[in-house]
Structure 1
Amino acid sequence: MFAVVVDVDYVGKQQLKNLLKQFGNGVQLRPTYLVSSGKGVHLYYFLQEPVQLYRNREEVLAELKEALIRRLWNDTSSIRPDSPDIIGIYQGFRCVGSQSKLGVDFPVKAYKLSENRYTLEDIKASIPSCKVDLAPLYEKPRRKSTVTLEEAKELYPEWYEKRIVQGEPKQKSKKQGGTWVCNEALYAWWKRKITEEVKAGGRYFSIMALCSYGLKCGISEQKIRRDAYAFLDHLESLTEDEDNHFSRADVKDALRALKGDRKRLSTIASREWIENNTKVTIPANKRNYRKQEAHLYLARRKKEDMKVIGEVVKEGRPTAERTVREWQESHPAGKKADCIRETGLAKHTVYKWWKDINNENI
């Protein structure tokens, strides 16, 4: 990343004068370039040294940029101070010389305001009471392990048993780009949100969020695209500014998210990201302000109490061991091959948990 770029929209003549005055008297950090985009400005803060965009840095850089946006977009710089567009570090902007929102007669122009190049610490220092921790930016990215498979067998026997012997898939955390398949009700819920709550400032990102929720719920790309275009007329009806219509081209552009790293999209598009960019409020999962560990402990205790008083409790997904043993109980004369075929378990899994029913009381 060679520069931090902030978009301030709904900038009138007086708001532009205010910004230039604040850059001059030091109230706001003076950008290297100011670009007139039509009805707003793009402020480019060139960096002294480019920042490599390792994944462990993305969240911190996004937080810093959000803080800078909220600092610059205010009641003196925008006609709509309460509607800042919180955009991410990968957001693209209109090229200098291209057509602005005002038409071909008003091209995008750039104005050099300074020779300044900044560090991320400079940008943070320009934001009063900024609490963004920049320490993760200086952590080295993890390197791939050089441990051989034979060495791993000795060093990590549990991992070797699960991943190599049993063939279980790699489990990734959310930060590592892992994903999971959610109930399709989540996708349907977001479609209702688009119809009921999305406003003019969040239309583009609402389609990107539709892509994210669709991927999380295992929805086919064809259906996601069909649903996205079905919202075109509704989203266009929300237009408040004649120079800011929502077109088929906007939907097509937002759907480009499907062509990228799918796991990455479904994890980067977090609840906070979707809230900030679509202006739709998404309440967090209710845990009564408890930490996850405490919340799960109480939930499990409740389940045990229900068992004690005789209530039926649905258990989670059965283990492979229990599946094999229950099949053997139901088929005393059954063979391993039949168990593999009927349960769908892998051959090595069935062989691992198979017990001689004639010699052991299962």
Structure 2
Amino acid sequence: MLERGFPEVSPHEFYRDLFPEGSLQSAEHDGKGNLIATQIRPSGKGRTKQWVVDDSLNMLDKVIGDEFGLIPPITFYGKTHTKQNAHELYAVAIDIDYVGKQQLKNLLKQFGNGVQLRPTYLVSSGKGVHAYYFLKEPVQLYHNLEDTLAELKEAFIRRLWNDTSSIRPDSPDITGIYQGFRCVGSQSKLGADFPVKAYKMSDNRYTLEDIKDSIPNCKVDLSVLTEKPKKEKSKLSLGEAKKLYPEWYQERVVEGRPKKKGTWVCNEALYEWWKNKIFTEVKVGGRYFSIMALCAYGLKCGISERRIRQDAYSFLEHLESLTDDEDNHFTREDVKDALKALKADNKLLSTMASREWIEKQTKVVIPPNKRNGRKQEQHLQLARGIRALKEQMGENVVGGGRPDKAKIVEEWRTAHPEGTPKDCIADTGISKNTVYKWWSVGEAL
């Protein structure tokens, strides 16, 4: 890189250029975010730590020289690297792995002749490079932008990671917008003798539109960037809401829990199906997320946390046996880290982990349920119509949704006249809301 005229810059120079003076918090409650630097520690070698780096950049020294230090190009509110705390995006960083000497030459040539968009910095990561595209203005990380930013980043990764830039062009690592990258000045995958170095490629700063324009036939709709998430104002005062909805007030206002999303309990066969997928289809690049998906399916199916954890660790030996790179082992610490999904977001993972998300992250093909092109509501309406027709024709119909739940609750109450709704929930596995709904109907009867 030096021979090509690209100067190496120090860690402090790199992060000062990425986060100009005054862009981070310099005094408490000044409304600005901070960097979150993370020290990753493998199992048995200490505790993983996160450090808040303010505008002085003094705390960078906690991860410079560290064996595994990560910093995302994002500012955060709070003290932890979570997407809920994410504030502003300052750069789009692309990880290209398995870059040999010829692949690096190819990249530099393409950056020079305009085939690929020239990054602001190119950072060596050991066996690959990180291309940093600094933004002209930081992008506010509103929740309604997450899918669009992830879609744009995936398209950009696939554009840069190809058969000329990587020895393994068919295995691009599709990372999310909140991804952390090895800190400049920390150790690379190759160890202490090969630190992560940053080389300045240009003074260019870009907009997201510039990045989109560099990707041929990119269909990502960036119009959402000009829209702020809509919030409907309640007609009730907070005091009135506290009186009318004490449980909601306690959870949302006092305890600060996020809004709950609706979900339902799926058949346990779904969970067992995914366990089989882990054994038969998960490959390197999808191992970590396959355990996160196990958590998601377990929560969807009402599986106990204890069982999910036991099952997750049972896959450790198999997933480690897939290792094809001595610097990319799958360890007990990886399983432990993936299992944090059980505690994150008050278990909202079960509703956030869609089929598309799991398929993308684990690289396991998951065909959608076949409804012959119908929307779910249309499909259910048709199913109910067929059921009603069968009943009119005198055919015996099994199943049918809510009435069956009502019957189960009624029969349980008959068998347990002194029982409580809590006991019924524990014995039948029916959700709390469903039991309470049909409990009152049973009293009326």
Measured against the shorter chain, the TM-score band is: 0.7 to 0.9
1:178-189 matches, within 5 Å, as 178-189=262-273
Equivalent residues of 1:213, 1:266 under 8 A apart: yes
Which among 77, 84, 103 is matched to residue 165 of structure 2? 77
Matched residue SS, 2:402 = coil
Higher deviation after alignment, 290-299 or 246-255 = 290-299
Matched residue SS, 1:35 = strand
Matched residue SS, 2:95 = strand
2:145 maps to which residue?
A: 57
1:162-201 matches, within 5 Å, as 177-201=261-285
Which among 31, 34, 39 is matched to residue 119 of structure 2? 31
Report the residue type matching 2:161 in the other structure: W
Which among 233, 249, 252 is matched to residue 333 of structure 2? 249
Q: Distance in 2 between matches of 1:112 and 1:138?
A: 31
Equivalent residues of 2:295, 2:308 under 8 A apart: yes
Change (3 A) 1:299 1:29: same
The aligned length equals: 328
Matched residue SS, 1:49 = strand
Q: CA deviation at 1:38?
A: 1.2
1:1-362 matches, within 5 Å, as 1-148=89-236, 177-313=261-397, 314-318=399-403, 350=440, 354=444
Tell me which protein shows more helix as a share of its residues. Answer: 1
Matched residue SS, 1:2 = strand
Q: Deviations over 1:74-105 (max 9, x none)?
A: 11111111111212112222222222222222
Equivalent residues of 2:271, 2:301 under 8 A apart: yes
Report the residue type matching 2:139 in the other structure: V
Give unmatched runs, 5+ long, in structure 1.
Answer: 154-159, 165-174, 332-336, 356-362
Change (3 A) 1:309 1:268: same
Matched residue SS, 2:306 = helix
Matched residue SS, 1:282 = coil
Q: CA deviation at 1:281?
A: 0.7
Equivalent residues of 2:98, 2:166 under 8 A apart: yes
Q: Which has the larger radius of gyration?
A: 1
2:72 maps to which residue?
A: none
Matched residue SS, 2:92 = strand
Matched residue SS, 2:286 = helix
Give unmatched runs, 5+ long, in structure 2.
Answer: 1-88, 247-258, 426-434
Tell me which protein shows more strand as a share of its residues. Answer: 2
TM-score, scaled relative to structure 1: 0.79
Work out the percentage of aligned pairs sharing the same amino acid.
69
Change (3 A) 1:263 1:140: farther
Higher deviation after alignment, 50-59 or 286-295 = 286-295
Q: CA deviation at 1:138?
A: 2.1
Q: Distance in 1 between matches of 2:201 and 2:224?
A: 31
Q: CA deviation at 1:131?
A: 0.7
Equivalent residues of 1:100, 1:106 under 8 A apart: yes
Change (3 A) 1:176 1:83: farther
Higher deviation after alignment, 127-136 or 47-56 = 47-56
Matched residue SS, 1:226 = helix
Matched residue SS, 1:277 = helix
Report the residue type matching 2:181 in the other structure: F
Q: Distance in 2 between matches of 1:300 and 1:343?
A: 28
Equivalent residues of 2:142, 2:228 under 8 A apart: no
TM-score, scaled relative to structure 2: 0.65
Equivalent residues of 1:178, 1:263 under 8 A apart: no
Equivalent residues of 1:339, 1:350 under 8 A apart: no
Equivalent residues of 2:187, 2:196 under 8 A apart: yes
1:157 maps to which residue?
A: none
Q: Deviations over 1:46-100 (max 9, x none)?
A: 2222222222111111111111111111111111111112121122222222222
Change (3 A) 1:41 1:176: farther
